[in-house]
Structure 1
Protein backbone atom coordinates (compact mmCIF):
# COMPACT_ATOMS: atom_id res chain seq x y z
CA UNK A 1 0.00 0.00 0.00
CA UNK A 2 1.27 3.47 -0.77
CA UNK A 3 2.15 6.00 1.87
CA UNK A 4 -0.45 8.37 3.31
CA UNK A 5 -0.39 11.74 5.03
CA UNK A 6 -2.26 10.51 8.08
CA UNK A 7 -0.74 8.10 10.56
CA UNK A 8 -1.92 4.51 10.38
CA UNK A 9 -4.42 3.39 12.95
CA UNK A 10 -3.11 0.73 15.30
CA UNK A 11 -4.68 -2.72 15.42
CA UNK A 12 -6.24 -4.82 18.09
CA UNK A 13 -3.21 -6.48 19.61
CA UNK A 14 -2.89 -10.23 19.86
CA UNK A 15 -1.25 -12.14 22.69
CA UNK A 16 -0.50 -15.01 20.32
CA UNK A 17 2.96 -16.54 20.74
CA UNK A 18 4.69 -16.80 17.38
CA UNK A 19 7.00 -19.59 16.28
CA UNK A 20 10.53 -18.79 15.12
CA UNK A 21 9.45 -19.20 11.50
CA UNK A 22 6.46 -16.89 12.00
CA UNK A 23 8.62 -14.27 13.71
CA UNK A 24 11.04 -14.16 10.80
CA UNK A 25 8.30 -14.01 8.19
CA UNK A 26 6.25 -11.39 10.01
CA UNK A 27 9.23 -9.15 10.81
CA UNK A 28 10.47 -9.12 7.22
CA UNK A 29 6.93 -8.70 5.88
CA UNK A 30 6.49 -5.65 8.10
CA UNK A 31 9.78 -4.24 6.83
CA UNK A 32 8.48 -4.62 3.29
CA UNK A 33 4.94 -3.39 3.91
CA UNK A 34 6.16 -0.28 5.72
CA UNK A 35 8.77 0.53 3.10
CA UNK A 36 11.79 -0.06 5.30
CA UNK A 37 12.73 -2.54 2.58
CA UNK A 38 11.68 -0.87 -0.66
CA UNK A 39 10.64 -2.58 -3.91
CA UNK A 40 13.71 -3.54 -5.91
CA UNK A 41 15.96 -3.43 -2.84
CA UNK A 42 18.12 -6.43 -2.02
CA UNK A 43 17.70 -8.09 1.33
CA UNK A 44 20.50 -7.70 3.85
CA UNK A 45 23.24 -10.31 3.69
CA UNK A 46 22.32 -13.72 5.04
CA UNK A 47 24.88 -13.37 7.81
CA UNK A 48 23.27 -10.10 8.92
CA UNK A 49 19.80 -11.68 8.96
CA UNK A 50 21.07 -14.67 10.91
CA UNK A 51 22.56 -12.32 13.46
CA UNK A 52 19.36 -10.26 13.65
CA UNK A 53 17.03 -13.19 14.27
CA UNK A 54 19.43 -15.57 16.02
CA UNK A 55 18.16 -18.57 14.06
CA UNK A 56 19.61 -21.34 11.94
CA UNK A 57 20.30 -20.92 8.25
CA UNK A 58 17.59 -23.50 7.53
CA UNK A 59 14.96 -21.56 9.49
CA UNK A 60 15.89 -18.32 7.76
CA UNK A 61 15.73 -19.83 4.29
CA UNK A 62 12.34 -21.39 5.03
CA UNK A 63 11.08 -17.97 6.08
CA UNK A 64 12.34 -16.42 2.84
CA UNK A 65 10.64 -19.17 0.84
CA UNK A 66 7.34 -18.33 2.55
CA UNK A 67 7.69 -14.65 1.65
CA UNK A 68 8.60 -15.53 -1.92
CA UNK A 69 5.51 -17.73 -2.18
CA UNK A 70 3.36 -14.78 -1.10
CA UNK A 71 4.91 -12.59 -3.78
CA UNK A 72 7.08 -10.39 -1.54
CA UNK A 73 10.48 -11.62 -2.69
CA UNK A 74 12.16 -12.64 -5.91
CA UNK A 75 14.99 -15.13 -5.47
CA UNK A 76 17.37 -15.47 -8.40
CA UNK A 77 20.74 -17.17 -8.66
CA UNK A 78 23.64 -14.70 -8.96
CA UNK A 79 21.23 -11.81 -8.56
CA UNK A 80 20.20 -12.32 -4.97
CA UNK A 81 16.95 -11.87 -3.13
CA UNK A 82 15.08 -8.67 -3.86
CA UNK A 83 11.81 -7.13 -2.73
CA UNK A 84 9.24 -7.30 -5.50
CA UNK A 85 6.90 -4.57 -6.68
CA UNK A 86 3.64 -4.37 -4.66
CA UNK A 87 1.67 -5.47 -7.72
CA UNK A 88 2.99 -8.98 -7.04
CA UNK A 89 2.01 -9.09 -3.35
CA UNK A 90 -0.87 -11.43 -2.61
CA UNK A 91 -3.29 -9.30 -0.58
CA UNK A 92 -5.88 -12.05 -0.76
CA UNK A 93 -3.68 -14.19 1.43
CA UNK A 94 -5.07 -14.11 4.96
CA UNK A 95 -1.62 -13.78 6.54
CA UNK A 96 -0.64 -10.90 4.26
CA UNK A 97 -3.79 -9.00 5.15
CA UNK A 98 -3.22 -9.70 8.85
CA UNK A 99 0.31 -8.32 8.58
CA UNK A 100 -0.98 -5.21 6.86
CA UNK A 101 -3.60 -4.65 9.55
CA UNK A 102 -1.12 -5.26 12.38
CA UNK A 103 1.09 -2.53 10.95
CA UNK A 104 -1.77 -0.02 11.04
CA UNK A 105 -4.48 1.03 8.60
CA UNK A 106 -3.56 4.20 6.76
CA UNK A 107 -5.88 6.21 4.50
CA UNK A 108 -4.88 4.33 1.35
CA UNK A 109 -5.54 0.96 2.94
CA UNK A 110 -8.92 2.07 4.28
CA UNK A 111 -9.92 3.40 0.86
CA UNK A 112 -8.80 0.25 -0.93
CA UNK A 113 -10.65 -1.95 1.56
CA UNK A 114 -13.82 0.11 1.04
CA UNK A 115 -13.47 -0.29 -2.73
CA UNK A 116 -13.21 -4.07 -2.39
CA UNK A 117 -16.22 -4.12 -0.08
CA UNK A 118 -18.27 -2.02 -2.51
CA UNK A 119 -17.51 -4.53 -5.25
CA UNK A 120 -18.14 -7.66 -3.17
CA UNK A 121 -20.69 -7.17 -0.42
CA UNK A 122 -23.63 -5.65 -2.34
CA UNK A 123 -23.41 -8.59 -4.75
CA UNK A 124 -23.37 -10.99 -1.80
CA UNK A 125 -26.46 -9.30 -0.34
CA UNK A 126 -28.29 -9.57 -3.67
CA UNK A 127 -27.49 -13.28 -3.90
CA UNK A 128 -28.47 -13.79 -0.26
CA UNK A 129 -31.90 -12.32 -1.06
CA UNK A 130 -32.38 -15.07 -3.63
CA UNK A 131 -30.90 -17.97 -1.70
CA UNK A 132 -31.19 -17.33 2.05
CA UNK A 133 -32.55 -20.03 4.30
CA UNK A 134 -34.46 -19.73 7.53
CA UNK A 135 -31.25 -20.51 9.41
CA UNK A 136 -29.46 -17.70 7.56
CA UNK A 137 -32.13 -15.20 8.55
CA UNK A 138 -31.96 -16.33 12.18
CA UNK A 139 -28.20 -15.71 12.22
CA UNK A 140 -28.64 -12.27 10.64
CA UNK A 141 -31.41 -11.26 13.06
CA UNK A 142 -29.34 -12.41 16.02
CA UNK A 143 -26.41 -10.23 14.90
CA UNK A 144 -28.67 -7.18 14.46
CA UNK A 145 -30.25 -7.71 17.87
CA UNK A 146 -26.78 -7.76 19.41
CA UNK A 147 -25.93 -4.48 17.64
CA UNK A 148 -29.04 -2.90 19.22
CA UNK A 149 -28.02 -3.66 22.81
CA UNK A 150 -27.39 -0.46 24.75
CA UNK A 151 -24.10 -0.07 26.62
CA UNK A 152 -22.51 -2.65 24.30
CA UNK A 153 -18.72 -2.43 24.25
CA UNK A 154 -16.99 -1.16 21.12
CA UNK A 155 -15.40 -4.55 20.52
CA UNK A 156 -18.64 -6.48 21.00
CA UNK A 157 -20.46 -4.14 18.60
CA UNK A 158 -17.71 -4.72 16.02
CA UNK A 159 -18.02 -8.49 16.51
CA UNK A 160 -21.80 -8.33 16.00
CA UNK A 161 -21.34 -6.15 12.91
CA UNK A 162 -18.83 -8.63 11.52
CA UNK A 163 -21.12 -11.56 12.33
CA UNK A 164 -23.89 -10.00 10.24
CA UNK A 165 -21.64 -9.47 7.22
CA UNK A 166 -20.31 -13.03 7.56
CA UNK A 167 -23.87 -14.39 7.73
CA UNK A 168 -24.82 -12.49 4.59
CA UNK A 169 -21.77 -13.84 2.78
CA UNK A 170 -22.68 -17.37 3.83
CA UNK A 171 -26.29 -16.85 2.70
CA UNK A 172 -25.07 -16.01 -0.81
CA UNK A 173 -24.32 -19.76 -1.12
CA UNK A 174 -21.42 -18.89 -3.39
CA UNK A 175 -18.34 -20.58 -1.90
CA UNK A 176 -15.92 -18.45 -3.93
CA UNK A 177 -17.57 -15.24 -2.75
CA UNK A 178 -17.66 -16.54 0.81
CA UNK A 179 -13.96 -17.39 0.65
CA UNK A 180 -13.08 -13.90 -0.57
CA UNK A 181 -15.20 -12.38 2.18
CA UNK A 182 -13.53 -14.52 4.84
CA UNK A 183 -10.12 -13.20 3.83
CA UNK A 184 -11.06 -9.62 4.68
CA UNK A 185 -12.71 -10.47 8.00
CA UNK A 186 -9.58 -9.48 9.95
CA UNK A 187 -9.50 -6.09 8.26
CA UNK A 188 -13.25 -5.64 8.68
CA UNK A 189 -13.11 -6.25 12.43
CA UNK A 190 -10.30 -3.72 12.67
CA UNK A 191 -12.02 -1.04 10.61
CA UNK A 192 -15.28 -1.53 12.53
CA UNK A 193 -13.46 -0.41 15.69
CA UNK A 194 -12.04 2.82 14.25
CA UNK A 195 -15.17 4.94 14.77
CA UNK A 196 -17.56 2.80 16.82
CA UNK A 197 -21.21 3.94 16.80
CA UNK A 198 -21.49 2.90 20.45
CA UNK A 199 -20.03 6.28 21.44
CA UNK A 200 -23.46 7.80 20.78
CA UNK A 201 -26.73 5.98 21.48
CA UNK A 202 -28.57 7.64 18.58
CA UNK A 203 -25.77 6.80 16.17
CA UNK A 204 -25.72 3.21 17.44
CA UNK A 205 -29.48 2.93 16.92
CA UNK A 206 -29.27 4.44 13.42
CA UNK A 207 -26.38 2.15 12.47
CA UNK A 208 -28.19 -0.94 13.73
CA UNK A 209 -31.34 0.14 11.88
CA UNK A 210 -29.40 0.54 8.63
CA UNK A 211 -28.07 -2.99 9.02
CA UNK A 212 -31.51 -4.29 9.94
CA UNK A 213 -32.85 -2.82 6.69
CA UNK A 214 -30.42 -5.04 4.75
CA UNK A 215 -31.82 -8.09 6.53
CA UNK A 216 -35.42 -6.97 5.96
CA UNK A 217 -34.79 -6.66 2.23
CA UNK A 218 -33.00 -10.01 2.11
CA UNK A 219 -35.97 -11.60 3.86
CA UNK A 220 -38.32 -9.99 1.31
CA UNK A 221 -36.09 -11.40 -1.45
CA UNK A 222 -35.46 -7.90 -2.81
CA UNK A 223 -31.97 -8.37 -4.29
CA UNK A 224 -31.48 -4.86 -5.77
CA UNK A 225 -32.81 -3.28 -2.59
CA UNK A 226 -30.52 -5.38 -0.39
CA UNK A 227 -27.53 -4.48 -2.54
CA UNK A 228 -28.37 -0.77 -2.32
CA UNK A 229 -28.85 -0.96 1.45
CA UNK A 230 -25.52 -2.73 1.82
CA UNK A 231 -23.79 -0.06 -0.25
CA UNK A 232 -25.31 2.61 1.99
CA UNK A 233 -23.94 0.90 5.11
CA UNK A 234 -20.45 0.53 3.62
CA UNK A 235 -20.30 4.16 2.51
CA UNK A 236 -21.72 5.51 5.78
CA UNK A 237 -19.16 3.60 7.84
CA UNK A 238 -16.29 4.64 5.59
CA UNK A 239 -17.29 8.30 5.61
CA UNK A 240 -17.70 8.28 9.41
CA UNK A 241 -14.19 6.89 9.90
CA UNK A 242 -12.60 9.31 7.45
CA UNK A 243 -14.40 12.30 8.95
CA UNK A 244 -13.15 11.34 12.41
CA UNK A 245 -9.61 10.89 11.13
CA UNK A 246 -9.67 14.30 9.46
CA UNK A 247 -11.09 15.86 12.61
Structure 2
Protein backbone atom coordinates (compact mmCIF):
# COMPACT_ATOMS: atom_id res chain seq x y z
CA UNK A 1 0.00 0.00 0.00
CA UNK A 2 1.27 3.44 -0.89
CA UNK A 3 2.05 5.65 2.10
CA UNK A 4 1.01 9.27 1.69
CA UNK A 5 2.79 12.12 3.47
CA UNK A 6 0.83 14.11 5.99
CA UNK A 7 0.48 17.73 5.00
CA UNK A 8 0.46 20.79 7.20
CA UNK A 9 -2.49 23.19 7.25
CA UNK A 10 -0.99 25.67 4.75
CA UNK A 11 1.69 23.82 2.79
CA UNK A 12 2.87 20.51 1.45
CA UNK A 13 5.68 19.81 3.90
CA UNK A 14 5.14 16.76 6.13
CA UNK A 15 5.49 17.23 9.89
CA UNK A 16 8.78 16.28 11.42
CA UNK A 17 9.15 12.88 13.02
CA UNK A 18 8.41 12.99 16.75
CA UNK A 19 11.35 12.65 19.08
CA UNK A 20 14.08 14.76 20.56
CA UNK A 21 14.35 18.09 18.79
CA UNK A 22 17.78 19.58 18.02
CA UNK A 23 18.95 22.59 20.06
CA UNK A 24 17.98 26.00 18.69
CA UNK A 25 19.85 28.40 20.94
CA UNK A 26 18.54 31.96 21.02
CA UNK A 27 20.41 35.00 22.26
CA UNK A 28 19.80 38.65 22.96
CA UNK A 29 17.37 40.69 24.98
CA UNK A 30 14.23 39.46 23.17
CA UNK A 31 14.54 35.76 23.98
CA UNK A 32 10.78 35.34 24.39
CA UNK A 33 10.06 36.97 21.03
CA UNK A 34 12.37 34.55 19.25
CA UNK A 35 10.89 31.53 21.03
CA UNK A 36 7.37 32.66 20.16
CA UNK A 37 8.22 33.21 16.49
CA UNK A 38 9.91 29.82 16.15
CA UNK A 39 7.13 27.91 17.92
CA UNK A 40 4.47 29.70 15.86
CA UNK A 41 6.41 28.75 12.73
CA UNK A 42 6.62 25.11 13.90
CA UNK A 43 2.85 25.01 14.42
CA UNK A 44 1.91 26.74 11.18
CA UNK A 45 4.16 24.60 8.98
CA UNK A 46 2.78 21.42 10.55
CA UNK A 47 5.81 20.29 12.54
CA UNK A 48 3.49 20.43 15.56
CA UNK A 49 0.12 19.37 14.08
CA UNK A 50 -3.28 20.24 15.59
CA UNK A 51 -4.17 18.02 18.54
CA UNK A 52 -0.57 17.29 19.51
CA UNK A 53 1.06 18.56 22.69
CA UNK A 54 3.95 20.98 22.85
CA UNK A 55 7.17 19.36 24.09
CA UNK A 56 7.63 19.46 27.88
CA UNK A 57 8.99 22.63 29.43
CA UNK A 58 12.33 21.03 30.21
CA UNK A 59 12.77 19.95 26.58
CA UNK A 60 11.92 23.42 25.29
CA UNK A 61 14.35 24.98 27.77
CA UNK A 62 17.10 22.72 26.47
CA UNK A 63 16.14 23.22 22.83
CA UNK A 64 16.15 27.02 23.00
CA UNK A 65 18.68 27.46 25.79
CA UNK A 66 16.37 29.64 27.87
CA UNK A 67 14.83 29.52 31.33
CA UNK A 68 11.49 28.01 32.32
CA UNK A 69 10.19 31.53 32.88
CA UNK A 70 10.89 32.47 29.25
CA UNK A 71 9.20 29.29 28.01
CA UNK A 72 6.13 29.81 30.19
CA UNK A 73 5.72 33.42 29.10
CA UNK A 74 6.21 32.43 25.46
CA UNK A 75 3.56 29.73 25.68
CA UNK A 76 1.12 32.25 27.20
CA UNK A 77 1.70 34.56 24.25
CA UNK A 78 1.10 31.71 21.78
CA UNK A 79 -2.08 30.83 23.66
CA UNK A 80 -3.28 34.44 23.30
CA UNK A 81 -2.74 34.11 19.55
CA UNK A 82 -5.09 31.11 19.53
CA UNK A 83 -2.51 28.50 18.47
CA UNK A 84 -2.53 26.42 21.66
CA UNK A 85 -4.74 25.76 24.66
CA UNK A 86 -3.75 24.44 28.06
CA UNK A 87 -5.74 21.35 29.07
CA UNK A 88 -5.57 19.83 32.52
CA UNK A 89 -3.93 16.42 32.36
CA UNK A 90 -3.02 16.76 28.67
CA UNK A 91 -0.54 19.61 28.67
CA UNK A 92 -0.50 22.37 26.07
CA UNK A 93 -2.35 21.26 22.94
CA UNK A 94 -2.02 22.72 19.45
CA UNK A 95 -5.41 24.02 18.29
CA UNK A 96 -7.24 23.71 15.00
CA UNK A 97 -6.14 26.37 12.46
CA UNK A 98 -9.69 27.76 12.46
CA UNK A 99 -9.01 29.06 15.98
CA UNK A 100 -5.83 30.94 15.09
CA UNK A 101 -5.78 34.74 15.13
CA UNK A 102 -4.88 35.30 11.49
CA UNK A 103 -4.67 39.08 11.93
CA UNK A 104 -1.85 38.70 14.45
CA UNK A 105 1.41 39.86 12.84
CA UNK A 106 3.46 36.80 13.83
CA UNK A 107 0.76 34.30 12.84
CA UNK A 108 -0.03 36.05 9.56
CA UNK A 109 3.65 36.23 8.61
CA UNK A 110 4.11 32.50 9.25
CA UNK A 111 0.93 31.48 7.42
CA UNK A 112 1.91 33.47 4.32
CA UNK A 113 5.48 32.12 4.45
CA UNK A 114 4.17 28.52 4.33
CA UNK A 115 1.29 29.10 1.88
CA UNK A 116 2.90 27.01 -0.86
CA UNK A 117 -0.30 26.47 -2.86
CA UNK A 118 -1.36 30.16 -2.48
CA UNK A 119 -4.83 29.25 -1.16
CA UNK A 120 -4.36 31.64 1.76
CA UNK A 121 -3.18 34.40 -0.56
CA UNK A 122 -6.37 33.81 -2.59
CA UNK A 123 -8.38 34.40 0.59
CA UNK A 124 -6.32 37.47 1.43
CA UNK A 125 -6.90 38.99 -2.01
CA UNK A 126 -10.63 38.27 -1.69
CA UNK A 127 -10.80 40.13 1.63
CA UNK A 128 -8.69 42.99 0.30
CA UNK A 129 -10.93 43.28 -2.77
CA UNK A 130 -14.11 43.50 -0.71
CA UNK A 131 -12.71 46.11 1.67
CA UNK A 132 -11.00 48.29 -0.93
CA UNK A 133 -14.04 48.24 -3.24
CA UNK A 134 -16.19 49.43 -0.35
CA UNK A 135 -13.66 52.14 0.54
CA UNK A 136 -13.39 53.30 -3.08
CA UNK A 137 -17.16 53.77 -3.10
CA UNK A 138 -16.98 55.71 0.18
CA UNK A 139 -14.14 57.84 -1.19
CA UNK A 140 -16.30 58.79 -4.19
CA UNK A 141 -18.84 60.25 -1.77
CA UNK A 142 -16.53 61.68 0.91
CA UNK A 143 -13.52 62.91 -1.07
CA UNK A 144 -12.29 66.45 -0.70
CA UNK A 145 -10.29 68.54 -3.21
CA UNK A 146 -7.16 67.66 -1.21
CA UNK A 147 -7.98 63.94 -1.51
CA UNK A 148 -8.42 64.24 -5.26
CA UNK A 149 -5.13 66.09 -5.53
CA UNK A 150 -3.27 63.37 -3.61
CA UNK A 151 -4.84 60.60 -5.68
CA UNK A 152 -3.91 62.41 -8.89
CA UNK A 153 -0.38 63.05 -7.66
CA UNK A 154 0.30 59.36 -7.02
CA UNK A 155 -1.14 58.43 -10.40
CA UNK A 156 1.20 60.97 -11.99
CA UNK A 157 4.17 59.45 -10.16
CA UNK A 158 3.21 56.02 -11.52
CA UNK A 159 2.96 57.41 -15.05
CA UNK A 160 6.36 59.08 -14.72
CA UNK A 161 8.03 55.87 -13.53
CA UNK A 162 7.09 53.29 -16.14
CA UNK A 163 10.84 52.70 -16.55
CA UNK A 164 11.42 52.20 -12.82
CA UNK A 165 9.62 49.20 -11.34
CA UNK A 166 10.44 49.97 -7.66
CA UNK A 167 9.24 53.59 -7.92
CA UNK A 168 6.15 52.56 -9.87
CA UNK A 169 5.29 49.87 -7.31
CA UNK A 170 5.78 52.25 -4.37
CA UNK A 171 3.48 54.83 -5.95
CA UNK A 172 0.96 52.05 -6.64
CA UNK A 173 0.81 51.24 -2.92
CA UNK A 174 0.47 54.93 -2.01
CA UNK A 175 -2.32 55.38 -4.59
CA UNK A 176 -4.40 52.72 -2.85
CA UNK A 177 -3.61 54.16 0.57
CA UNK A 178 -4.72 57.70 -0.26
CA UNK A 179 -8.02 56.33 -1.58
CA UNK A 180 -8.52 54.39 1.65
CA UNK A 181 -7.67 57.53 3.62
CA UNK A 182 -10.23 59.46 1.57
CA UNK A 183 -12.89 56.91 2.53
CA UNK A 184 -12.51 57.89 6.21
CA UNK A 185 -12.74 54.16 7.08
CA UNK A 186 -9.86 53.90 9.54
CA UNK A 187 -10.43 50.26 10.49
CA UNK A 188 -10.73 49.06 6.91
CA UNK A 189 -7.57 50.94 5.98
CA UNK A 190 -5.67 49.45 8.94
CA UNK A 191 -6.76 45.90 8.08
CA UNK A 192 -5.86 46.20 4.39
CA UNK A 193 -2.49 47.81 5.10
CA UNK A 194 -1.66 45.10 7.63
CA UNK A 195 -2.53 42.12 5.45
CA UNK A 196 -1.10 43.70 2.30
CA UNK A 197 2.21 44.54 3.96
CA UNK A 198 2.57 40.91 5.06
CA UNK A 199 1.51 39.56 1.66
CA UNK A 200 4.21 41.60 -0.04
CA UNK A 201 6.86 39.68 1.94
CA UNK A 202 5.98 36.60 -0.14
CA UNK A 203 7.65 36.12 -3.51
CA UNK A 204 4.52 34.22 -4.61
CA UNK A 205 2.50 37.42 -4.27
CA UNK A 206 4.61 39.69 -6.44
CA UNK A 207 4.57 38.25 -9.93
CA UNK A 208 6.46 39.82 -12.83
CA UNK A 209 6.44 43.52 -13.63
CA UNK A 210 7.05 44.64 -17.21
CA UNK A 211 6.01 47.69 -19.20
CA UNK A 212 2.85 46.07 -20.57
CA UNK A 213 1.73 45.07 -17.07
CA UNK A 214 2.50 48.52 -15.70
CA UNK A 215 0.58 50.27 -18.47
CA UNK A 216 -2.42 48.01 -17.84
CA UNK A 217 -2.18 48.77 -14.12
CA UNK A 218 -1.98 52.48 -14.88
CA UNK A 219 -5.13 52.30 -17.01
CA UNK A 220 -6.99 50.49 -14.24
CA UNK A 221 -5.90 53.10 -11.70
CA UNK A 222 -7.04 55.87 -14.04
CA UNK A 223 -10.51 54.29 -14.18
CA UNK A 224 -10.65 54.21 -10.37
CA UNK A 225 -9.56 57.85 -10.13
CA UNK A 226 -12.08 58.97 -12.77
CA UNK A 227 -14.99 57.25 -10.99
CA UNK A 228 -14.04 58.78 -7.63
CA UNK A 229 -13.66 62.25 -9.18
CA UNK A 230 -17.09 61.84 -10.81
CA UNK A 231 -18.67 61.04 -7.45
CA UNK A 232 -19.73 57.62 -8.75
CA UNK A 233 -19.58 55.13 -5.84
CA UNK A 234 -20.82 52.14 -7.84
CA UNK A 235 -18.35 52.83 -10.64
CA UNK A 236 -15.48 53.35 -8.18
CA UNK A 237 -16.25 50.09 -6.39
CA UNK A 238 -16.50 48.17 -9.67
CA UNK A 239 -13.26 49.65 -11.00
CA UNK A 240 -11.39 48.85 -7.79
CA UNK A 241 -12.79 45.32 -7.65
CA UNK A 242 -11.89 44.68 -11.29
CA UNK A 243 -8.37 46.06 -10.84
CA UNK A 244 -7.43 44.03 -7.75
CA UNK A 245 -8.95 40.81 -9.11
CA UNK A 246 -7.40 41.14 -12.58
CA UNK A 247 -4.04 42.17 -11.15
CA UNK A 248 -3.93 39.06 -8.95
CA UNK A 249 -5.00 36.84 -11.84
CA UNK A 250 -2.14 38.25 -13.94
CA UNK A 251 0.55 37.52 -11.37
CA UNK A 252 -0.83 34.49 -9.48
CA UNK A 253 1.62 31.54 -9.68
TM-score bracket relative to the smaller structure: 0.7 to 0.9
Q: 1:18 to 1:226 in 2, by over 3 A?
A: farther
Please name the residue that 2:45 is paired with.
34
Matched residue, 1:195: 207
TM-score (norm 1): 0.83
CA distance in 1 between partners of 2:29 and 2:156 (Å): 36
Residues 79 and 85 in structure 2, CA contact (< 8 A), matched pair in contact too: yes
Give the total of aligned pairs. 230
Matched position secondary structure for 2:92 = strand
Question: Which of 214, 219, 229 in structure 2 is aligned with 1:209?
Answer: 219
Find the partner of 1:132 among 133, 139, 143: 143
Of the structure 1 ranges 105-114 and 214-223, higher mean CA displacement relative to structure 2 is found in 105-114
Higher relative contact order (CA 8 A, sep 6+): 1
Q: Please, what is the CA RMSD of the aligned residues?
A: 2.4
Unmatched runs of 5 consecutive residues or more in structure 1: 7-16
Kindly indicate whether the alpha-carbon contact (under 8 Å) linking 2:162 and 2:168 is maintained by their aligned counterparts in 1: no
Please, which moves more after superposition, 180-189 or 203-212? 180-189
After superposing the two structures, state which structure 1 stretch, 51-60 or 156-165, moved more.
156-165
Q: State the SS of the aligned residue for 1:82.
A: strand
SS in 2 for 1:81: strand
1:44 counterpart SS class: coil
2:130 to 116, 119, 142: 119
Mapping for residues 144-223 of structure 1, pairs under 5 Å:
144-148=155-159, 149-153=161-165, 155-190=166-201, 194-197=206-209, 200-223=210-233
Larger Rg: 2
| Residue 13 (structure 1) aligns with | none
- Residue 105 (structure 1) shift: 5.6
Q: Is the 8 A contact 2:84 2:94 kept in 1?
A: yes
Matched, 1:82 2:93: yes
SS at match of 1:184: helix
Shift in alpha-carbon separation, 1:99–1:134, aligned structure 2, 3 A: farther
Q: 1:47 aligns with which of 58, 69, 92?
A: 58
